[in-house]
Structure 1
Amino acid sequence: MARVAIVTDSTAMLPSDLGDAAELITSVPLQVIVDGTSYDDGVEETSPEALLAALAAHKTVTTSRPSPALLAEVYSKLAAQGVEEIVSIHLSAELSATCESSMLAARESPVPVFTVDTRLVGPGVGFAVMAAAAVAGRGGSAAEAREAALERSAATQSYFYVDTLEYLRRGGRIGAAAALLGTALAVKPLLTIEEGRVVPSERVRTADRAIARLQALGVEAGEDADAVDVVVAHLGSPDRAATTAAGVAEQLDGKINGDVRVGVLGAVLGAHVGPGCVAVVVGPQL
């Protein structure tokens, strides 16, 4: 076991093949509550297909942070395995109390815990996790891994399209984008994450134009970088996601690290954006 371990949460959308980083990273599930019954994010009952079915059936779907007790148990187990320091990297504290759970659990941890608020969601959190794991894998300290996570987070840009603002409204995550509610029927909103909050980016008249503009924003986010990681995520919109990924890949050809990764949003994020969402997340390599 390495001296420094990385802990994150199930919203990070980590790549399926973590390589050497796999032994350094522990992921803790958030909770998805469907009609009053709580499930771990990532199990069969909270698969994208199950979430889409629950939303189509008008079931009540809400989410909850991992408890401080669960994170404290994870930290203690890692310490028992010989870990000396932990970097715990999570989605925006403006959108979830997961960072608060981490900080509360850190008080009981037998080893130091550095909590990182990425001020991002989804793949952006994953970029920060991988940056921290790279530092830890080279023998760096927890403070150095934390700094790498923060730098990668600050450089990452996220844009997303939603068919409706209703799911964000229900979950209370709409922030400054609430200003669009009065014109929601007349526009298709493009949103972004700023200072950890969901805010409007642009208003577009049709879904097709919105997806085209989403692709353009992804390209703009990466065009000045020497190399970038790009993830396109969606819920129930594989065709839109594939089109967006192909367009970004073509226009950023030569800059992208590997391929544009296309993934399906998990239930925690999906419950707040709803079917039809497509997101582009661009993280310049530092």
Structure 2
Amino acid sequence: MKIAIVVDSTAYLPEALLKKNDIYTIPLNIVFGESSYREGIDISTEEFFKRMNESDSLPGTSQPSIGDYILLLESLRREGYTDVISFHLSAGISGTYQSAVSAGESVEGINLHVIDTEIACYVQGFMALYAAQNKDKKPLEDILTDVNEMKKKEHTDAFFIVDTLNNLQKGGRLTNAQALIGSMLKVKPVLTFEDGKIVPYEKIRTMKKAVRKVEADLETVFEKHKGKKITAVVIHSNAPERAAEWQKHLEEKFPDVLFRQSYFGPVIATHLGEGALGIGYTTYDIDTAE
């Protein structure tokens, strides 16, 4: 048995970390007008934000085509892989998971095990890293059992703080009136995942108060899991300085937690907008060193 690990591009794992752990990626697409771009391949995150800010309407997003996924699976089969564990952003917000399932049914000679992580970004990457780092140490069935347990909220979770309501309004998730009132009140929605869907967690005035609310809840969680190796990641939407400042503060506040920094790439940032912050964590033992 030879196992390959695949993760979709919305995990936004560093290239060095992907290479070190022999993890393959399948890109989602960002669409401006009639042109489609594979995120991380055809368009950089910097170029994406520039084009999005110059546009009156939001770009579109789409999951990988089944054809692209089939090509990846056939390539892995030729390399001698017998099984693939594929990790994808929540099926509650994207059709990527279902595309992977369909692709697996179309390719013979290789077994595809598709995981709906029920979350997104670097936090879904935690699960891919765990599988990659244990695929030669544990039986396949044990790894599948572990990652399905790992995605439960008591082990892995995330919070996202939206800085601007513009993208939510452009995307039809807020009316113009709601966006105007929210902006006037400086409302910063805090979001999380429940049953694979993004749901409101809190609505707080000012980014500073929203960050402190998230920190207070993290303190409760980290205290509950004291003694475990907790890995956390600060995620930003084109706001690296803000993320670095928050990460430094968190490292001082929670010295026993290992913190990393990541970003919201084009597909996720399309919906959250510029300036958003996020934080996710896992209590499972993984190595995130590049």
Give the unaligned 5+ runs of structure 1: none
The amino acid across from 2:21 in the alignment is: A
**Structure 1 vs Structure 2 CA RMSD:** 2.4
Counterpart in the other structure of 1:189: 189
Task: From the superposition, tell whether residues 153 and 181 of structure 1 become closer, same or farther in structure 2 (CA, over 3 Å).
Answer: farther
Instruction: Report the count of equivalent residues.
Output: 275
Decide whether the 8 Å contact of 1:218 with 1:248 is kept in 2: no
Counterpart in the other structure of 1:130: 129
* Segment drifting more, 242-251 vs 31-40: 242-251
Decide whether the 8 Å contact of 1:193 with 1:199 is kept in 2: yes
Rounded Cα–Cα distance in structure 2 between residues aligned with 1:54 and 1:160: 23
Q: CA offsets, 1:223-282, max 9 Å, x none?
A: 3222111111111222321122122212221232xxx11122211111111101000011
Rounded Cα–Cα distance in structure 2 between residues aligned with 1:167 and 1:56: 10
Counterpart in the other structure of 1:235: 237
Decide whether the 8 Å contact of 1:218 with 1:280 is kept in 2: no
1:195 CA displacement = 1.0
Rounded Cα–Cα distance in structure 2 between residues aligned with 1:171 and 1:86: 35
1:51 aligned onto 2:48: yes
Rounded Cα–Cα distance in structure 1 between residues aligned with 2:249 and 2:223: 13
* Segment drifting more, 269-278 vs 181-190: 181-190
1:119 CA displacement = 0.4
Identity of aligned residues (%): 28
The amino acid across from 1:228 in the alignment is: I
Decide whether the 8 Å contact of 2:8 with 2:87 is kept in 1: yes
Task: From the superposition, tell whether residues 164 and 246 of structure 1 become closer, same or farther in structure 2 (CA, over 3 Å).
Answer: same
1:41 CA displacement = 0.6
Decide whether the 8 Å contact of 1:212 with 1:244 is kept in 2: no
Rounded Cα–Cα distance in structure 1 between residues aligned with 2:243 and 2:219: 14
Counterpart in the other structure of 1:151: 149
Task: Give the TM-score normalised by structure 1.
Answer: 0.88
Decide whether the 8 Å contact of 1:119 with 1:153 is kept in 2: yes
The amino acid across from 1:220 in the alignment is: T
Counterpart in the other structure of 2:288: none
Rounded Cα–Cα distance in structure 1 between residues aligned with 2:138 and 2:53: 48
The amino acid across from 1:22 in the alignment is: N
Rounded Cα–Cα distance in structure 2 between residues aligned with 1:216 and 1:39: 39
Indicate the SS of the match to 1:184.
helix
The amino acid across from 1:29 in the alignment is: P
Rounded Cα–Cα distance in structure 1 between residues aligned with 2:73 and 2:252: 43
Decide whether the 8 Å contact of 2:232 with 2:257 is kept in 1: no
Task: From the superposition, tell whether residues 201 and 130 of structure 1 become closer, same or farther in structure 2 (CA, over 3 Å).
Answer: same
Indicate the SS of the match to 2:189.
strand
1:200 aligned onto 2:200: yes
Rounded Cα–Cα distance in structure 1 between residues aligned with 2:18 and 2:163: 36
Rounded Cα–Cα distance in structure 1 between residues aligned with 2:46 and 2:273: 12
Counterpart in the other structure of 1:118: 117
Counterpart in the other structure of 2:38: 40
Task: Give the TM-score normalised by structure 2.
Answer: 0.86
Rounded Cα–Cα distance in structure 2 between residues aligned with 1:200 and 1:96: 18
Task: From the superposition, tell whether residues 220 and 171 of structure 1 become closer, same or farther in structure 2 (CA, over 3 Å).
Answer: farther
Rounded Cα–Cα distance in structure 2 between residues aligned with 1:108 and 1:144: 26
Alignment match of 2:247 (pick from 230, 245, 250): 245
* Segment drifting more, 245-254 vs 4-13: 245-254
Decide whether the 8 Å contact of 1:133 with 1:145 is kept in 2: no
